[in-house]
Structure 1
Amino acid sequence: MFVGSETEKKRLSKAGKVGIALGVILPSILIIGLLLLFFKRRRSFSREFQTRNTYADHSSNPDVEGGSVYFGIPLFSYKELEEATSRFDLNKQVGDGGFGTVYYGKLHDGREVAVKRLYEHNYRRVEQFMNEVQILTRLRHKNLVSLYGCTSRTSRELLLVYEYIPNGTVASHLHGESAKPGLLPWSTRMKIAVETASALAYLHATDIIHRDVKTNNILLDYSYCVKVADFGLSRLFPNDVTHVSTAPQGTPGYVDPEYYQCYQLTSKSDVYSFGVVLIELISSKPAVDMNRDKDEINLSNLAIKKIQEGSLVELVDPCLGFDSDNEVKRMVVSVAELAFQCLQRDKELRPSMEKVLEMLLRIESGKHEPEHLEVVDAGHGVSNVNSQQPQPSISPEWDQIVLLKNVKPPSSPITVTDSWESESTTPNVSS
């Protein structure tokens, strides 16, 4: 009886020790496994970047940044770009965005360039860097800024090298440091609208959404030709889906209210932002102005309000000759009608960028007339821009306010000159 009891005690003691050992070893193995998985995933992006850089001929140059090619574009060395920008001199800074600062530079071969310097060299910025490189290298359009090259992933900093566009942004000419009365006549603004729409329609046709359309991203050369820039927020759009779900990004005052609310990105998000750009071209006012009344801080809100009141004339920049030139008045009213369509709250009620471009070309050529040419002018009654001409027939494209067939129109006016109350069109709220 004593012997059996002693044996039982030894067996239990041994089992207890095994249990304790397993209790210590198994959690340790689990923790080590999780740590290995974490570091493996952290390094996966770096390895992917390396494998994608199949174009680089490292043997051709001991400095893999210089003289090599990545995604079909040249790789610049950090040293060369540092020298080109005078060590990133603050006096050479020409732009500042959500993902990087842009500097003017001059390369050894004499080319003037804009060097975009990403803020941080971390996973997020490398991903953004690769995104922009991949998108820009596949695009060819006269109204899109060209990418000359970039630094390699091993560079001290991530840098993108663009063609330099010397005449600033549309924003600076409309309501910024370069703004002067009469500097941008309506004909030039119409040209800017058409060329910007052409660039965006091209992007959408290649399944790319810009996501940050604004006048600060529309550059001008000395002939006032447009170069749409800053694809840092661009998103490749899969062909087999209706939208991409993502957290709202972009610039307050331009963000699609439906995108902001539902986190659903579509090409119609760019259309909304372009509608704000059209209103800026008409009014010379910024998209957001905290000095305006509370319900007019967003330009889209102000525009809709003036449209509702039938007071478009109060929105138009007085320097455009709206009251003295019937042809200007015809085009401004037509563009305002188109902008109103772009600013519809429901994305399904907005036209596509292809349709927007088509209508702008018709307006510019004189082949399109506003549906109603009466414009309410506060203090001057009602005027008609073509009082001596018969009322033209309405084009088939405009027989529905939404420019879409088989869609019930919202409670909104037939044109921008009608007084109305709308429950369906609400501008976005800046944050």
Structure 2
Amino acid sequence: MRQLFLLFLFLPHGTFSATAAAGGGCNRRCNGSPVPYPFGFSGDCPILLSCNATASTPQLRTGSTAAAPYPILSFNSTRSTFVVSLVPLCNRTVGDANASLNVASQNGAAGYGVSSQTGLFLGACSGATPKASNCSAPADIMAQLLKTARCVNDTAWTCVGSPPPSIKGRGEFLDWGHVEAAGCEDALTTATVNGIAPAGVPSLEFGVAELGWWLNGTCANATGGGRCAANATCNDVQTPSGAWGHRCACLDGMTGDGFAAGEGCHYGAERSKKKFLLVVAGVVAGVVAGVAAAAGALLLCWVQCRRCKAGRSSSERLAAMRLLSEAATSSGVPVYSYAEVARATNSFSHTHRLGTGAYGTVYVGKLPASAPALVAIKRLRSRHHHEDDDDDAAAAAALLLNEIKLISSVSHPNLVRLLGCCLDRGEQILVYEYVPNGTLSQHLLAGDSGGGGRGRSRLTWRARLGVAAETAAAIAYLHGMRPPIFHRDVKSSNILLDGSLRPKLADFGLSRAAGRLGEATRSHVSTAPQGTPGYVDPEYHQCFHLSDKSDVYSFGVVLLELITAMKVVDFDRPAAEVNLASLALDRIGKGRVGEIVDPAILGGGEEWVMESVRHVSELAFRCLAFHKDVRPAMCEVAAELHRIRDAAPDSDSDSGSGLRPMMDVQIDLSLDGAETVGKKVAVSPVSVQEVWVSDQSSPSTNGSMPRFVA
């Protein structure tokens, strides 16, 4: 980028400004075709022209409607002249031509007039007495020469001209007095321009007139738009009125209009191209040399680093990992080797995979006899594979170890327990208790046929009340820790159910653990909101401020799921009801909660169920308040749910634990190295295909915000 900027500094100015419209806002384009300064088409231009939009041709402004316009054929900035078309025309009066071709001053800044190289042919001069300096030609001959019809009553045309200038800057314009002295007032039929052809042969061009321009004032007192550009010369010129003006012209070998307010002066395209190529070659040579030097330095550094790493003995690395393992063991968390974990999962075989979550993949396995019969093994996504990353791997393992210590200090019957970890071979693996009966989401949406996004759950309202009350107690427990732990991803797919349908909240604290792993190798960690659509606290999403009330909002959505058994986000519903929170808040606010209640929980016809549902819906309504300060604390939510559950009548037949587990898992988990085969046997009429699938969290933007608050 820096080299590209230098290229622009060295490039000649004219390369980019050949058609620039400068001059203090002077518009110098006629439908894209430019004219040189001081000409233009707006009031800021010293010499005003009109534009033929159809032909994209500039033309002189005429003061008479009877006179035909004078299209401008070409400009010569070097000589400060331009050529206009003056075709034979019988009704062009001498007065009109004088007014249009001989403008002494325009806008008080500049003017133009017919040059001394132009001769005028005047018709209808029968009553005049031509001077000796003038000549006459028969009208018939001129009509044949110019291929035009003779004018009425014309017998001869009179030619009026001026002698060439004797002094530079004086006599450069046609003496209009000679025209008036010819006595031809009826018509100015045409004109001719004489000059020298490139081959040195005299030339004569009919039907055109050459005009010269100037800016008022001399070179010594030129100001504003009359100043000459760098690399331009200034010459004084005497105008037809006798006053003095000046002209600017570029030095030999350069092109442009010569004015600082215009295009200025620049070299031609060929020379600019050569200069550009020289600059490019110089810059490229410098860049190549710099890159070569930098590559050499990096190569030397890499070789030196390899030598340093090669000098580090494997015993030192083993000692570092041993210290980490001893620290984990001292905190009460068993540390397993990678070989043990790989053997327990048949090398992380797909036959042992339970599901993929936001932070890794979960496998079922069996570790040595000291561990429970079955465990859930979560392999985190952030891993280090290269030998060169030993330092980073050790730092990441140390960070994970700190998080493991914090998570292992949490003990609650409704939280999934951490049973061990693996910090071997750059892997970060956590071992949890195995919860066999799927997730709350699977139970609520089991057998969903797409009809309104509602499943055919077998969970009774009493069982749902128990799940709600015990989950709320677990979240309140996390909020009461010091420092507090914010889950930040509370949802029905993170609530696991055991064989008695008691809830176990999973993935608490893991966001901080997984997010912090990368801090050892990254210099930036985003704090953008992360969560699952439909559960994310709207105020947190706007302000990026995480608090315990964010978990309260997400739990309010879970309460709606328990009441309705509907999907949290369902695009099959009307646009205003895609989000379950929006749909439920509308119905609850209007006192029509009965429209969204899951029919499965009303099948028994018990009056207390609908009354209990109304109380829970009112609590959910409070949890879903937009402003966090209006929402209740999680401890209040837990206390209110326990009160609602305790108010339910006793019933031996309607127990939440009366249902058999939705799934048993029978897997050969022998540790003798034999081929392991996985088999899932559904024992319930409603089969759940994956045991523990913690749905992928969907961040609003890339990044992760820690769930812990110091």
Say yes or no: does 1:170 pair with 2:430.
no
Q: CA RMSD in A?
A: 3.6
Query: 1:230 & 1:97 partners in 2: Cα distance?
Result: 9
Give the equivalent residue in structure 1 for 2:416.
145
Give the equivalent residue in structure 2 for 1:215.
492
Say yes or no: does 1:291 pair with 2:551.
no
**Would you tell me which structure has more strand in proportion to its own residues?**
2
Say yes or no: does 1:343 pair with 2:587.
no
Give the equivalent residue in structure 1 for 2:556.
275
Q: After superposition, give the CA deviation of every residue in 1:111-138 in whole Å (9 maximum; x if it has no partner).
A: 2000001123157976884465233211
Give the equivalent residue in structure 1 for 2:595.
314
Say yes or no: does 1:79 pair with 2:345.
no
Give the equivalent residue in structure 1 for 2:527.
246
Name the amino acid aligned to 2:332: G
TM-score by length of 1: 0.65
Name the amino acid aligned to 1:56: S
Query: 1:108 & 1:177 partners in 2: Cα distance?
Result: 38
Query: 2:320 & 2:546 partners in 1: Cα distance?
Result: 30
Query: 1:105 & 1:145 partners in 2: Cα distance?
Result: 16
The aligned runs of 1:91-240 (5 Å cut-off) are: 91-109=351-369, 111-122=373-384, 129-130=400-401, 132-152=403-423, 154-176=424-446, 181=456, 183-206=458-481, 207-231=484-508, 232-234=510-512
Q: After superposition, give the CA deviation of every residue in 1:306-345 in whole Å (9 maximum; x if it has no partner).
A: 2233321111100001782111111110000000100000
Query: 2:570 & 2:330 partners in 1: Cα distance?
Result: 42
Compared with structure 1, are the counterparts of its residues 132 and 336 closer, same or farther at alpha carbon in structure 2 (3 Å cutoff)? Answer: farther
Compared with structure 1, are the counterparts of its residues 93 and 52 closer, same or farther at alpha carbon in structure 2 (3 Å cutoff)? Answer: closer
Name the amino acid aligned to 1:358: A
Compared with structure 1, are the counterparts of its residues 221 and 73 closer, same or farther at alpha carbon in structure 2 (3 Å cutoff)? Answer: same
Name the amino acid aligned to 1:215: S
Name the amino acid aligned to 2:470: E
Q: After superposition, give the CA deviation of every residue in 1:124-159 in whole Å (9 maximum; x if it has no partner).
A: 97688446523321101111111110111x425221
Query: 1:146 & 1:225 partners in 2: Cα distance?
Result: 14
Query: 2:351 & 2:338 partners in 1: Cα distance?
Result: 19
Structure 1: state its 5+ residue gaps.
Answer: 1-23, 40-46, 59-67, 236-244, 369-428
Give the equivalent residue in structure 1 for 2:127.
none
2:325 to 43, 56, 65: 56
Give the equivalent residue in structure 2 for 1:424.
none
Give the equivalent residue in structure 1 for 2:642.
361
Name the amino acid aligned to 2:407: L
Aligned length: 315
Q: After superposition, give the CA deviation of every residue in 1:156-213 in whole Å (9 maximum; x if it has no partner).
A: 5221100000101101101146997452000100000011001000000001111110
Compared with structure 1, are the counterparts of its residues 430 and 54 closer, same or farther at alpha carbon in structure 2 (3 Å cutoff)? Answer: closer
Compared with structure 1, are the counterparts of its residues 104 and 132 closer, same or farther at alpha carbon in structure 2 (3 Å cutoff)? Answer: farther
Alpha-carbon deviation of 1:78? Answer: 1.2
Describe the SS at the equivalent of 1:149.
strand
Compared with structure 1, are the counterparts of its residues 80 and 366 closer, same or farther at alpha carbon in structure 2 (3 Å cutoff)? Answer: same
Structure 2: state its 5+ residue gaps.
Answer: 1-289, 306-315, 385-391, 449-453, 514-525, 650-698, 702-710
TM-score by length of 2: 0.41
Give the equivalent residue in structure 1 for 2:537.
256
Alpha-carbon deviation of 1:57? Answer: 4.0
Query: 1:234 & 1:339 partners in 2: Cα distance?
Result: 27
Contact 1:75 1:151 in 2 (8 A): yes
Once superposed, which parts of structure 1, at least 4 consecutive aligned residues long, lie more than 3 Å away? Answer: 50-58, 122-132, 176-182
Query: 2:399 & 2:324 partners in 1: Cα distance?
Result: 20
Compared with structure 1, are the counterparts of its residues 128 and 308 closer, same or farther at alpha carbon in structure 2 (3 Å cutoff)? Answer: farther
Alpha-carbon deviation of 1:96? Answer: 1.6
Compared with structure 1, are the counterparts of its residues 189 and 261 closer, same or farther at alpha carbon in structure 2 (3 Å cutoff)? Answer: same
Compared with structure 1, are the counterparts of its residues 135 and 57 closer, same or farther at alpha carbon in structure 2 (3 Å cutoff)? Answer: closer
Alpha-carbon deviation of 1:292? Answer: 2.1
Query: 2:613 & 2:350 partners in 1: Cα distance?
Result: 40
Q: Decide which moves more: 70-79 or 270-279.
A: 70-79
Contact 1:233 1:249 in 2 (8 A): no
Name the amino acid aligned to 1:170: L
**Would you tell me which structure has more helix in proportion to its own residues?**
1
Query: 1:310 & 1:345 partners in 2: Cα distance?
Result: 19
Describe the SS at the equivalent of 1:101.
strand
Alpha-carbon deviation of 1:95? Answer: 2.5
Query: 1:294 & 1:318 partners in 2: Cα distance?
Result: 23
Q: After superposition, give the CA deviation of every residue in 1:222-277 in whole Å (9 maximum; x if it has no partner).
A: 10111111122258xxxxxxxxx932112111111111110000000000000000
Query: 1:246 & 1:52 partners in 2: Cα distance?
Result: 31
Query: 2:457 & 2:531 partners in 1: Cα distance?
Result: 30
Q: Decide which moves more: 283-292 or 131-140.
A: 131-140
Query: 1:293 & 1:88 partners in 2: Cα distance?
Result: 43
Contact 1:335 1:360 in 2 (8 A): yes
Contact 1:74 1:150 in 2 (8 A): yes
Query: 2:439 & 2:330 partners in 1: Cα distance?
Result: 29
Alpha-carbon deviation of 1:286? Answer: 2.1
Compared with structure 1, are the counterparts of its residues 212 and 168 closer, same or farther at alpha carbon in structure 2 (3 Å cutoff)? Answer: same
Alpha-carbon deviation of 1:357? Answer: 0.6
1:300 to 576, 581, 590: 581
Contact 2:529 2:700 in 1 (8 A): no
Query: 2:400 & 2:624 partners in 1: Cα distance?
Result: 31
Compared with structure 1, are the counterparts of its residues 198 and 358 closer, same or farther at alpha carbon in structure 2 (3 Å cutoff)? Answer: same
Give the equivalent residue in structure 2 for 1:88.
348
Compared with structure 1, are the counterparts of its residues 159 and 263 closer, same or farther at alpha carbon in structure 2 (3 Å cutoff)? Answer: same
Contact 1:208 1:234 in 2 (8 A): no
Give the share of equivalent positions with the same residue, in percent. Answer: 43
Name the amino acid aligned to 2:538: P
Alpha-carbon deviation of 1:293? Answer: 2.1
1:332 to 595, 613, 621: 613
Describe the SS at the equivalent of 1:162.
strand
